[in-house]
Amino acid sequence: MEKHLIMLDRLGKVFHTHEVETHALSNVTLEVKTGEFVSIAGPSGCGKTTLLSILGLLDSPTEGVYLLNGEPVDGLSPSRRAEIRNRSIGFIFQAFNLIGDLTVFENVELPLTYRDMPGKERKERVLQSLERVGMAHRVNHYPSQLSGGQQQRVAVARAIVGTPFILLADEPTGNLDSSNGQGVMNLLGELHADGATICMVTHDPRYVNAADRAIHLFDGQVVGEGVSPVGGEVV
């Protein structure tokens, strides 16, 4: 029996600003199985990034239930949330989010420095991760010395170095040309084939259906899976 890594039940998120109430997410119910590759698609402002932020414990829902690996997220202390993010979740961002004055090696090593891990093991893990993404030959380079595609590969290495049980990718190809974007998608596909669980937000119709399953959002609600029911085409 496949295990559900993520379970959301009637999840909602409301933002309050200047007496204006904005419903970013409403009644979102979905499940993600261990080893599944799920894309989250929809037009700008539909709640994709808000949903990913909640999945990654960077934000909290206003209502509903979120179980991560069987553990209720509601009520977790800030320190416990930070521990889960560091040990169990790998993040890949559109803007790479590499630190400019750190080398490739140091950027990938950074998540491991918050763990009680011997330096030798950290080095082995970093080199293995960089080898996995084809960037082991650039360990001493700085982000400014890399192309956009190379920076995103380093960001993927940083995301997987801690062996998380889920990867969350927010528009991972958004700042890349088509060739480098396809290269990153191929890399995510390889990681998935090796057993990684991936949730990816994308607005690019070329990549929506690269996943096992596509979740389509519209106005903060899940409106279908597969081919988008909004306008009859993938959005």
- pLDDT category at 172 given cuts 50, 70, 90 is very high
Mean pLDDT of the chain: 91
Sorted by where each starts, the structural domains of the chain and their CATH numbers stand as: 4-225 (3.40.50.300)
Could you tell me which residues come within 8 angstroms of residue 23 by beta carbon, excluding any fewer than 6 positions away? 12, 13, 14, 220
Could you tell me which residues come within 8 angstroms of residue 59 by beta carbon, excluding any fewer than 6 positions away? 13, 50, 53
Percent of the residues in the chain that have a pLDDT greater than 90, as a whole number? 81
220 pLDDT above the threshold of 90: yes
Instruction: Enter the pTM of the model.
Output: 0.90
The SS3 of residue 45 is coil
- Radius of gyration for the alpha carbons in the chain, expressed in angstroms and rounded: 18
Q: How far apart are alpha carbons 138 and 32 in whole angstroms?
A: 35
Q: What is the pLDDT of residues 31-66, one digit of tens each?
A: 999 999 999 999 888 999 999 999 999 999 999 999
pLDDT value of position 233: 40
pLDDT value of position 1: 47
Contact predicate 214/39, CB 8 Å: yes
| Average pLDDT value for residue range 136-157 | 96
- pLDDT category at 205 given cuts 50, 70, 90 is confident
Q: What is the dihedral of CA 130, 133, 137, 141, to 10 degrees?
A: -70
Contact predicate 146/104, CB 8 Å: yes
204 pLDDT above the threshold of 90: no
- φ, ψ dihedrals at 157, nearest 5°: -60, -40
Residue of 108, 215, 223 lying closest to 155 (CA atoms): 108
Contact predicate 5/30, CB 8 Å: no
Beta-strand runs (E) in the chain? 4-17, 20-33, 37-41, 63-68, 71-72, 89-92, 166-170, 198-201, 213-218, 221-225
Identify which has the larger pLDDT, 200 or 20: 200
Q: How far is CA 221 from CA 13, 23, 27, 29, 159, in A?
A: 11, 10, 7, 9, 28
